[in-house]
């Protein structure tokens, strides 16, 4: 069943178009930086962007930081929102369940396919970022690189921590995926499920900037998304990273539980 | 195979105050071509969905192939082929890729021999030449054939088909009818849901009629349309025929007379002996339409002012 869902996802042209579009913005930014040589000052603009002019190997992280706030969650919400509601709208859900695929199995397979999509997308963004970064910018071949807090990291450390960041960003997206997947079991319209997840996301981002909402800020799904930059402090600042992982885990467990409870007991009339 | 293939007891589905299916007892036996008739909105589709475990009954039980649904769905449904309210497929994939994915999505469809099975069913439904083409470009009739291919893929013991000839041209309908009868001859039980009386009359051996969520009729087609014991006579001279036959004439409608007596030859002899010309002669049988109209109240989607809807929501 999981194989079936992966085949469906990755044989669908839309999946690859989404990934291609997702890569367009970081590539455009890189080209603009190269042409104008105008990097944002440290502390301004997307994370890592100030540092890439002197070290192209940091560009995968800059690329991820560029797509993280909006593009990546939109793509995740589209794919996860489509998971069940898309099958319902296309009429294939009734055939899958009468096959019988098993409702729990189908939901698990959909979840695995969404996670695979997030991982593949994040890895491709990082890989394209690496290719673009090393082709356009200087690469410090020897000695230490500057970390985010002025400390020095070896190229091996940068590589290792980039991999950790890829993992962390993937997990950060699971909360959005869980919201979209839950909404996807509630409606037969994939657009509605996607918009629902985006509404949560935008609401969360907005509340995060509001002082009056500071009491609930630690529980907002987007709260710790950018904490992956803490991997590049020396030593690694684990506090927010572990909180971010824990928070995503809670959202995923609660929402998937709700999705499962709803989907396994509902009448499929689509 | 023998015995009961589909049995429901007191099957009921309510959506709020609306009773879509109101306590039906289906009885489909092995080897039947069962025609499940009902007007639009009479509850056919809801019933079909309950048979397949898609809609969960409010009360009552469903047994398919001797096992409870939805509990034993994983065991039973691989032996059931279904076409539910029109076909559905992934438009960007080819016909055979669609069949392959559906087959892999559940138990009972071994990977070994899958390609062979797919080629066979595509051939069987007349899509052998377009297996590699994207479904996006398929006509409604081709999609319907593909849906039927999906239902046949695992050589099921039971076919549950909802309006299987929808969107097909007359040749296509004839072809599918022949295919279904062939399958039935080799042991497949066919449960056919339709609002097309003619289709059921040509295919079914048993008939169940649903009216506003209730079963109003369930019997062998041969019993329902059994001769009434009268003979239908056509004559260009009805006045003289009535005079000769006297009170044996039950009704007269132009040149068509219904005459008491289950022996057309005897009626013919009487008339010809008296010199009355006879242009047609047949046993009087009710048509399925007569039977259904007598049993069911009216069209399900006709809702006059002042009636409360009790059997809506197909």
Residue A1 with chain B: CB contacts under 8 Å:
104-106
| Residue given tokens 């062979």 in the structure block | B116
Query: Exposure pattern of B90-106 as b/e (b: 16+ CB <10 Å)?
Result: beebbbbbbbbbbbbbb
A158: left (phi over 0), alpha (psi -120 to 50) or beta: alpha
Least Cα separation, residue B148 to chain A (angstroms): 12
Do the Cβ atoms of B77 and A91 come within 8 Å?
A: no
Do B41 and B299 touch, CB atoms closer than 8 A? Answer: no
| pLDDT the model gives residue B54 | 96
Residue B55 with chain A: CB contacts under 8 Å:
267-269
List the single residue in B with minimal CA-CA distance to A101.
B106
What's the CATH number of domain B230-284, 3.40.50.2020, 3.30.200.210, 3.30.9.90, 3.30.70.100? 3.30.70.100
pLDDT of residue B109 exceeding 80, the answer is yes
The minimal CB distance from A94 to the residues B54, B56, B89 is found for: B54
Which tokens sit at B197?
């009386």
Do the Cβ atoms of A94 and B150 come within 8 Å?
A: no
Chain B residues with CB under 8 Å of a chain A CB are 49, 52-56, 73-74, 77-78, 80, 82, 84-93, 97, 101-102, 104-107, 150
| pLDDT the model gives residue B96 | 96
Q: How confident is the model at residue B314 (pLDDT cuts 50, 70, 90)?
A: very low
What's the rounded Cα separation, in Å, for the pair A263 and B5?
Answer: 28
Q: How far is CA B202 from the centre of its chain?
A: 9
Which tokens sit at B120?
């066979």
Which tokens sit at B124?
């069987």
Q: Where in chain B is the domain with CATH 3.40.50.300?
A: 4-224
Residue range B15-69, pLDDT digits in tens: 988 999 999 999 999 999 999 998 888 899 999 999 999 999 999 999 999 999 9
Least Cα separation, residue A26 to chain B (angstroms): 29
Residue range B70-88, pLDDT digits in tens: 999 999 999 999 999 999 9
CATH 3.40.50.300, applies to B4-224: yes
Which tokens sit at A77?
């919400």
Residue A261 with chain B: CB contacts under 8 Å:
none
Which tokens sit at A18?
């989404």
CB atoms < 10 A from the CB of A45, how many? 15
For chain A, what percent of residues have pLDDT higher than 90? 74
Task: Please check whether residue A101 touches B, CB under 8 A.
Answer: yes
| pLDDT the model gives residue A146 | 58
Lowest model confidence (mean pLDDT) among A125-129, A158-162, A186-190, B295-299: B295-299
Residue range B115-135, pLDDT digits in tens: 999 999 999 999 999 999 999
Residue A100, preceding bond cis, omega within 30 degrees?
A: yes
Q: How confident is the model at residue A151 (pLDDT cuts 50, 70, 90)?
A: low
CB atoms < 10 A from the CB of B60, how many? 17
Phi then psi dihedrals of residue B276, to 5 deg? -90, 125
Residue A102 with chain B: CB contacts under 8 Å:
74, 106
Task: Please check whether residue A265 touches B, CB under 8 A.
Answer: yes
| Residue given tokens 């009429």 in the structure block | A91
| Paired sense of beta strands B230-234 and B280-283, if any | antiparallel
Q: What is the DSSP letter of A40?
A: P
The residue-averaged pLDDT of B186-210 equals 92
The minimal CB distance from A95 to the residues B74, B80, B150 is found for: B150
DSSP B252-310: EETTEEEEE-S-HHHHHHHHHHTT----EEEE----HHHHHHHHS-S-TT---TTPPPS
Do the Cβ atoms of A98 and B52 come within 8 Å?
A: yes
Do B261 and B267 touch, CB atoms closer than 8 A? Answer: yes
Q: Is the ipTM of this complex over 0.85?
A: yes
Q: Which residues contact B71 (CB under 8 A, 6 or more apart)?
A: none
The residue-averaged pLDDT of B90-94 equals 95
What's the rounded Cα separation, in Å, for the pair A133 and A34?
Answer: 10
Do the Cβ atoms of B106 and A99 come within 8 Å?
A: yes
Q: Where in chain B is the domain with CATH 3.30.70.100?
A: 230-284
| Paired sense of beta strands B33-38 and B189-194, if any | parallel
| pLDDT the model gives residue B188 | 95
CB atoms < 10 A from the CB of A118, how many? 23
Least Cα separation, residue A54 to chain B (angstroms): 45
Residue range A2-49, pLDDT digits in tens: 999 999 999 999 999 999 999 999 999 999 998 988 878 777 777 788
DSSP B204-250: -SEEEEEETTEEEEEEEHHHHT---SEEEEE-S-HHHHHHHHGGGEE
Residue range B259-268, pLDDT digits in tens: 998 888 998 9
What's the rounded Cα separation, in Å, for the pair B312 and A184?
Answer: 27
What's the rounded Cα separation, in Å, for the pair B128 and B119?
Answer: 7
Residue B266, preceding bond cis, omega within 30 degrees?
A: no
The minimal CB distance from B88 to the residues A92, A102, A267 is found for: A92
The minimal CB distance from A4 to the residues B54, B82, B105 is found for: B105
| pLDDT the model gives residue B306 | 62
pLDDT of residue A260 exceeding 80, the answer is yes
Do the Cβ atoms of A97 and B88 come within 8 Å?
A: no
Return the number of CB contacts < 8 Å for A and B: 76
**Over chain A, what is the mean pLDDT?**
91
Which tokens sit at B291?
């039977």
Q: What is the DSSP letter of B130?
A: G
Least Cα separation, residue B89 to chain A (angstroms): 6
Domain boundaries, given as residue ranges, for chain A = 2-263
The minimal CB distance from A267 to the residues B55, B92, B105 is found for: B55
Q: Look at residues B125, B119, B131 and name the one whose alpha carbon lies nearest to residue B175.
A: B125
Task: Please check whether residue A84 touches B, CB under 8 A.
Answer: no
| Residue given tokens 């689509």 in the structure block | A270
pLDDT of residue B313 exceeding 50, the answer is no
What's the rounded Cα separation, in Å, for the pair B286 and A255?
Answer: 59
pLDDT of residue B198 exceeding 90, the answer is no
Chain B interface mutation, best of A8, A99, A106, A263, highest count of B Cβ atoms under 10 Å: A99
At B200, is the secondary structure helix, strand, or coil? helix
Residue A57, exposed/middle/buried by CB under 10 A (0-12, 13-18, 19+)? buried
pLDDT of residue B308 exceeding 60, the answer is no
């Amino acid at each position: 069943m999981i194989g079936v869902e992966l085949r469906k996802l990755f044989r669908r042209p839309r999946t690859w178009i989404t990934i291609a579009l997702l890569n367009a913005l970081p590539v455009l930014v890189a080209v603009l930086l190269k042409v104008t040589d105008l990097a944002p000052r440290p502390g301004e603009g997307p994370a890592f962007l100030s540092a890439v002019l002197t070290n192209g190997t940091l560009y995968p992280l800059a690329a991820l930081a560029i797509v993280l706030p909006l593009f990546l969650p939109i793509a995740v919400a589209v794919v996860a929102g489509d998971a069940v509601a898309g099958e319902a709208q296309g009429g294939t859900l009734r055939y899958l369940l009468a096959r019988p695929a098993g409702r729990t199995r189908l939901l698990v397979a959909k979840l695995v396919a969404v996670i695979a999509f997030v991982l593949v997308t994040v890895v491709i963004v990082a890989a394209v970022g690496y290719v673009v970064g090393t082709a356009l910018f200087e690469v410090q071949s020897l000695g230490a690189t500057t970390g985010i807090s002025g400390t020095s990291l070896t190229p091996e450390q940068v590589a290792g921590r980039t991999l950790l960041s890829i993992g962390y960003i993937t997990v950060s997206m699971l909360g959005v995926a869980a919201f979209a997947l839950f909404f996807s079991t509630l409606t037969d319209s994939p657009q509605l499920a996607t918009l629902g997840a985006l509404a949560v996301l935008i609401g969360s981002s907005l509340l995060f900037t509001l002082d009056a909402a500071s009491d609930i800020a630690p529980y907002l799904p987007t709260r710790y998304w950018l904490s992956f930059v803490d991997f590049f402090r020396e030593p690694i600042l684990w506090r927010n990273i572990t909180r971010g992982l824990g928070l995503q885990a809670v959202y995923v467990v609660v929402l998937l539980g709700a999705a499962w409870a709803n989907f396994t007991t509902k009448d499929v009339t689509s | 195979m023998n015995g009961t293939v589909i049995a429901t007891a007191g099957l009921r589905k309510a959506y709020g105050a609306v009773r879509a299916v109101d306590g039906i007892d289906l009885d489909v036996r092995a080897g039947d071509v069962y025609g499940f008739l009902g007007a639009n909105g009479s509850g056919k589709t809801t019933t079909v969905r309950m048979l397949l475990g898609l809609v969960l009954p409010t009360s009552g039980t469903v047994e398919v192939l001797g096992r409870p649904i939805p509990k034993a769905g994983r065991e039973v449904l691989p032996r059931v082929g279904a076409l539910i309210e029109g076909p559905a497929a992934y438009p960007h994939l080819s016909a055979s890729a669609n069949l392959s994915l559906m087959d892999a999505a559940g138990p009972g469809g071994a990977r070994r021999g899958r390609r062979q099975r797919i080629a066979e069913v595509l051939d069987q439904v007349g899509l052998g030449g377009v297996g590699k083409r994207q479904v996006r470009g398929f006509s409604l009739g081709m999609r319907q054939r593909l849906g039927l291919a999906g239902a046949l893929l695992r050589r099921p013991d039971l076919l549950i088909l909802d309006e299987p000839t929808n969107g097909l041209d007359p040749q296509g309908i004839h072809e599918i009818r022949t295919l279904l009868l062939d399958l039935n001859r080799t042991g497949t039980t066919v449960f056919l849901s339709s609002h097309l009386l003619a289709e059921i009359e040509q295919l079914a051996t048993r008939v169940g009629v649903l009216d506003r969520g209730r079963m109003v009729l369930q019997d062998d087609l041969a019993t329902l349309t059994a001769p009434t014991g009268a003979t239908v006579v056509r004559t260009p001279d009805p006045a003289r025929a009535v005079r000769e036959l006297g009170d044996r004439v039950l009704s007269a409608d132009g040149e068509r007379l219904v005459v008491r007596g289950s022996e057309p030859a005897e009626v013919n002899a009487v008339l010809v002996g008296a010199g009355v010309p006879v242009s047609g002669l047949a046993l009087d049988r009710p048509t399925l339409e007569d039977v259904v109209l007598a049993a069911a109240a009216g069209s399900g989607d006709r809702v006059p002012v002042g009636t409360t809807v009790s059997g809506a929501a197909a």
